[in-house]
Amino acid sequence: MHLIIAEKHDAAKRIAQILAGSKPSSKRVAGVDTYCFDDKVVMGLSGHIVGVDYPQGYNNWQKVDCKDLIRAEIVVRPIQDKIISALQSLGKKADRITIATDYDREGELIGVEALKIAQKANPGLHSDRVRYSAIVKEEILKAFKDRGDVDYSLAASGEARQIIDLVWGAALTRYISLTSGRLGKEFLSVGRVQSPTLALIVDREREIQSFVPKPYWEIYADLEKELAVQHAKGRIWDKAEVDGIISRLGPVGAVKSIETKPRVDKPPAPFDTTSFIAAASGIGFSAANAMRLAEWLYVNGFISYPRTDNTVYPPSIDLKALTRLFLNSAFSSEAEKLLQGKMQPTRGKRSTTDHPPIYPTAPAEKGELKEDQWRIYELVVRRFFATLAEPCVWDATSLKVDIGPEPFRANGTRLVEPGWRYYYPYSKAEEHILPKLEKGERLRVLGHSVEAKETQPPARFSQGKLIKLMDELGLGTKSTRHDIISKLYARAYVQGNPMRPTNTAYAVVDTLEKYAPTITKPEMTQTLENDMNLISERNIKEDEVIEKSRVMLTSVFDELTTNQDGIGQSLKDGLRTDKIVGTCQKCQSDLIIRRGHRGTRFIGCSGYPECRFTLPLPRFGTVVVTDKKCEEHGMLHIRIINKGKRPWDLGCPHCNFLEWQTKKAQEKADPTKAKEKAKPKAAKATGAAKSKKKATPISQTKGDGLVALSGIGPKTLEKLTGAGIKTAADLARAKADSLAKITGISAKKISAWQKAAGAMS
């Protein structure tokens, strides 16, 4: 039996259909779907099926010295038990195994992981490797005809990355989290690539905040024939000079010169991963979402492999034949027009041999795909067409006009031949047509204006621009950069797009830059990235690179331990500001995010116990304090981040709570109406985020039982939720005496509620 291993289930299914020439039969092995035809069985993995980790004894953060993790034993653990069982079962029966995972460092490692498991079950198993860049018939058949050997060196470079990232991430994350006292779900994440990337964002924000705008002025004049001109000096930095120019302006402008020249815009280069993510970011896609959609399109045969550094089409791609495929598609007019031209492809700066640039591999109809899939697919198709199109040609006109002794100018552009812009509308350029004029012509001045402006700070990084910068600095790889950015959001280090660092990010980066700057500089990770490339090229051994990284990390820990007291204080001071939501209107103390009993969270006054003002917060998700302030209550807006879900903009916690109280009072007054509303829409946080209305606290979804208890009104409910009591079950489990001390409610009354609550829960 011939066993074929693909990286994912969908890829396995498609490869099996291509090789079989018809629909293969499906069979479940150890709970895993496989596809069978002739003597062949194709099965898909689910990415990595094993992972590197520390032995069990190292899991206790409090008992294990962080520095011990640098040289601790690394073990391999199974993470996909069903798939491993299926591999073992099929491996025993097979006499031959072909690795057909994605052809890159990660894919090679995933393939080798599967191969080792199968060969352990059957040591005599013969292995080979197929490499392809698109899951389409011609390429898959060619790949299986030209099988080669597994590249163990490429896999070793991937394994080195796993081990190095584990060691750096685990040791540094534990150290910083323990030193700052941020443990549990709120631990502080530090990483070999993540931290230098975060430092770029924080440093850019510092530039913006410290930027001192410089005033300048621009002078404009309106002339006859609807001609607007600007003073030739452009920005004028001295107001006195501006006043002098205005005083010298005459009533007539004389055309001094008109010069028109052709201007050529060259077509863009083919998409590599970095430029694709940047382009997708420009039309509203996050880096992670763009790659997820591109991966789906690749697996389903619509585009080529989306993880590539190549910007030069290889000669093996028949570009004209590929374009002809689109003659009967939604892009038929574009394809027809393109085939009438020279179709000379552009070339980018990087050429690699592993994968071609990203290009469409098959036509698709809009109805076949979801809207976001179609938008990414269309972007790839149009970029491909643009790289084969003619240059865009403009007529660029430069006009000089003297008004009195003062020189003015205007620039005009007229589109002569759209060229590649016809196919690629994402890169906009507008015409600016000047009126017909002759040299020496005199035009009456209709008026003039002076615009006072200021220099602007540097722009924040969009995800696309940050990916480009990471690429330039050698931070991460084409396959990992979008994941790094996703982690920064998930850890509540950044928010928005363009990205703004949170106070937590400032605290971490400021501390590391002061006491252990190596962690925040790109040079360290650049060195290790280059070494990992050398492993794949067989110029250095995996163990040597891992040892080198451990030596580097040891020197970093020497810096950290020398400055441990300063690091702890710096982190605690910085992190405290990230918990301040506003000022208490009752006592003017800080309102701070706190944790109550059983992991509940609330906003409490730092003036406690004298001031007992509290507001409830959702139990789950990371709480991010934004810089948007409520005008009525002076509180900063809250955002809740749950992994894998859209961020929930809760808004002002006080407004949110008051709205919830009003709603509960209305429901209590008319319970029948409330039940009808509750059936189709059960308090969805995501719905609140989408509608951009004030969201309701999560506590309301569990709080109906408390409201139903006799004697618990809005004010009492506020006290209970502030103490961490969100449900009838919470109330039933609480200690009456302790709860009475926290809330100021009599223990007798609480005990009576507990009896009723116990019956409800």
* Residues with active-site annotation: 305
Ramachandran bin of 257, using left for φ above 0, alpha for ψ from -120 to 50, beta for the remaining angles: beta
- Cα–Cα nearest to 638, from 582, 587, 588: 582
Amino acid type, 729: A
Residues 6+ apart with CB under 8 A from 174: 61, 64, 66, 69
| Residue where the block lists tokens 């995501």 | 686
Where do we find the tokens 């191969």? Answer: 115
In this structure, the strands spanning 25-29 and 2-6 are unpaired
Backbone angles phi, psi at 684, to 5 degrees: -90, 125
Q: Are 743 and 596 in contact (CB under 8 A)?
A: no
- Among residues 185, 264, 222, which one has the least CA distance to residue 601? 185
CA distance 645 to 135: 30
Query: Is 183 in contact with 61 (CB distance < 8 Å)?
Result: yes
Residue located via tokens 């939604």: 330
Q: What share of the chain is helix, strand, coil (3-state, %, to 5)?
A: 45, 20, 35
* Residues contacting 16, CB < 8 A, separation 6+: 4, 24, 35, 36, 37, 40, 42
Dist CA 373 CA 301 (whole Å) = 13
d(CA 639, CA 357): 38
Q: Is the dihedral of CA 171, 174, 175, 176 positive or negative?
A: positive
